[in-house]
Chain A
Amino acid sequence: MKRIALIGMPNAGKSTLFNRMSGASAKVANWPGVTVDLLSAKLLIAGQMAELVDLPGIYDLHGFSDDEQVVRHFLCNNSIDLVLIVANATQVDRQLTLALQLKSLGLPAVLLLNMADEAKQQGITINAQQLGEELGYPATLLSAKYGQGYAETYKLIESELQKSEAMPTLSLENDFAVDQAVEDKLEQIIRHSVDVPVQAGHSTTEKIDKVMLHPWLGLPLFFGIMFLMFQAVYTLGAPLQDSVAWLLEGFRDIALAPLLSGLPTLLNSFLLEGVFDGVATVASFVPVIILFFLFMAIIEDSGYLSRAAFLMDALMTKMGLDGRSFVMLLMGFGCNVPALMGTRTMRSRGLRLLTMMVIPFSLCSARLQVFVFMTTALFAPSQAPLVLFSLYMMTFATVIITALLFKGQFNSQEPFALELPPYRFPTTRQMLLRGWHEIRHFLRRATKFITLGVVLVWILTHMPFGVEPASAASWSGWIGEFMSPILSPAGINPELTVALIFGFVAKEIVIGALAVIYGLEGSSLMQGIAQQIDWVQAYSFMLFTLIYTPCLATVATLRAEAKSAWYTALSLAWPMTLAWTISTGFYQTARYLGY
């Protein structure tokens, strides 16, 4: 099978092209010589199967960041038939460096000048054919986002792939020796084939930045936008969740329950109250998650995140972190795992470890489900979004405490420069793809952890044989009782304790587990919980859920990225301690104040 590698600088639109070429078939895979997972997709091109690999965005093949090393190791350890160099056409004057570096390695490649639409808008004209001739690689203009020029690009890739012979793996790291001639060549090519108007500016971007990066308004606007976003996710998402839960409840009562009624009681209970109730409760939150990621996609693709880094860098520096750490925290609101991987762009180990230490406090979308569930159950609709927002603020509070406490251990003096791309709006296609990606991600987790989790919870609550489910006599009752001296000061009862234990694997299991423990589903589950605990206990439970530990996947990533058992142990023990202290502190104070 032929192998095609995608290489480009950050913000060149590499992933957009990857998504367009692969449809939605991308898979994560391991590669020789590379310790991290890379996205790849198999596609039928030029009459044969080829493997398309998306490499991390890099500025330079000689750079020292982990991402740059990943690309180097990949090129050294895997044979490659064709490299697709993706460059931002509006910045071809500097992005061509990567192409020249690859040329000096003798790799077969084509140059894809992406964002041709933006270049045209700005009056930048590029003679792709001439540029390609001077460079020694065929070049073409396209817009991966809107699809103009894509058909021609595809044909070019096909014909080049047929011509190319697999390049033997590069044997030596020395092949990457710095070539000073690259710079001169770059200037020459640009002079000959690119025409940039003197006043080429992103005037819209400049206007937006005047407001968004305003010295006094910038930060309040940032928090305002965040608040509105969470408010929107809640206001739109809660009714959606409710409808899906209602549909699933209907399905259960009308179809599933009669169907399973002939089965022995225990098996019936296992399938209906164990597997179905557990998984269905979790599944009802899928719309909330999709909605959340649609908003995240807009914010991520808009270019606003790097502005957030700009606004927050000075404050983050005081905590031993930097603007990138802040962006990764925001990415962590989606999922902690990619956020942890995003720290690979940091060269300083101290900075990287400190950032990875705080990312797990980021209120990820899985924890969001637990909180939407609990706030809907125990708070008035007008209060719920505020409660939710307060938990997001809690993320920042725990980050500040942690960073200040540990910044002495993880010192860094790393210089830091970050590109601020022009504001862009994602296309509907991009947003739909993102939504689909999240559904798939959920289904994968559902089949792996969530089903297994709820099955285990069912066993714990229904064993030994014949006990009243989830009563003190059941196994879950024993565990809850055993843990109660530790967790009752925080107001967390035995039922919630069992849910928390399973939350270690994945936070989605928490609500699935609650459904199984209480033997209820949908709105009746919310009512059941509201009858048993009050808002102080619920908030303490939410604080604990937020802080105590990220999911198993995050811990595994943390360990793989940090490559240190000591560090992994610390990043498990510290949040646990902090969670107990904050929850207990909150619970006892609230009770003391008479709530």
Chain B
Amino acid sequence: MTTLYSLSALSPGQSATVQALHVDSGFQFRLNALGFRIGKPLELIRIAPFNGPLHIKLGNTEVMLRRQDAANIEVLM
């Protein structure tokens, strides 16, 4: 059974696949270039101190992403 979540709802160590990017086209180019594509698996590695950005691993790329931006990425778990 799989469910849709926002990426910001994941806990460290959890994995999911990218389902949709609800962001403006400029940021979408950047996310695509960093490897955020529909169907791509990712893993949340850790969250920075003081409720800071998320540390995400996509394939061979590691990325930091702010919580409010991660909230606009839908993932399937």
Question: CB within 8 Å of B: which residues of A?
Answer: 9, 59-60, 62-64, 90-91, 93-94, 97-98, 122, 124, 183, 196, 200, 202, 205, 209, 213, 215-216, 218-219, 306, 309-311, 313-315, 317, 323, 347, 415-422
Top 5 A-B residue pairs of the complex, sorted by shortest distance between their CB atoms: A314-B52, A59-B33, A314-B50, A420-B62, A415-B69
Number of interface residues of B (CB under 8 A): 32
Contacts of A9 in B (CB 8 A): 33
Instruction: Digitize B33-66: 1 where CB-to-A-CB distance is under 8 Å, 0 elsewhere.
Output: 1110100000001111111110100011111111
Q: Is B10 an interface residue (CB 8 A)?
A: no
Q: Are A216 and B63 in contact (CB under 8 A)?
A: no
Q: Are A310 and B61 in contact (CB under 8 A)?
A: no
Contacts of B55 in A (CB 8 A): 209, 213, 310, 420
Expressed in whole angstroms, the Cα–Cα distance for A420 and B61 within the complex equals 8
Using A213-B55, A314-B49, A416-B69 as known contacts, say yes or no to A94 and B64 having CB atoms under 8 A apart.
no
Expressed in whole angstroms, the Cα–Cα distance for A373 and B66 within the complex equals 42
For B12, give the chain A residue with the smallest CB separation: A215
Expressed in whole angstroms, the Cα–Cα distance for A314 and B50 within the complex equals 6
Using A311-B49, A416-B69 as known contacts, say yes or no to A196 and B34 having CB atoms under 8 A apart.
no
Q: Are B48 and A314 in contact (CB under 8 A)?
A: yes
Contacts of B52 in A (CB 8 A): 310-311, 313-315
Q: Are A309 and B32 in contact (CB under 8 A)?
A: no
Taking a contact as CB atoms closer than 8 A, the residue among B24, B26, B27, B64 that contacts A309 in the complex is B64
Residue picked from A94, A215, A311, A323, most chain B C-beta under 10 Å? A94
Expressed in whole angstroms, the Cα–Cα distance for A311 and B33 within the complex equals 23
Q: Are A59 and B30 in contact (CB under 8 A)?
A: yes
Given contacts A417-B65, A419-B63, 13 further A-B contacts (CB under 8 A): A59-B34, A60-B32, A91-B60, A94-B34, A97-B33, A200-B59, A309-B64, A310-B48, A313-B48, A314-B50, A314-B53, A418-B63, A419-B34
Q: Are A94 and B61 in contact (CB under 8 A)?
A: yes
Taking a contact as CB atoms closer than 8 A, the residue among A63, A97, A323, A347 that contacts B64 in the complex is A323
Q: Is B31 an interface residue (CB 8 A)?
A: yes
For B33, give the chain A residue with the smallest CB separation: A59
Q: Are B32 and A97 in contact (CB under 8 A)?
A: yes
Expressed in whole angstroms, the Cα–Cα distance for A314 and B60 within the complex equals 25
Expressed in whole angstroms, the Cα–Cα distance for A506 and B48 within the complex equals 39
Q: Are B30 and A91 in contact (CB under 8 A)?
A: no
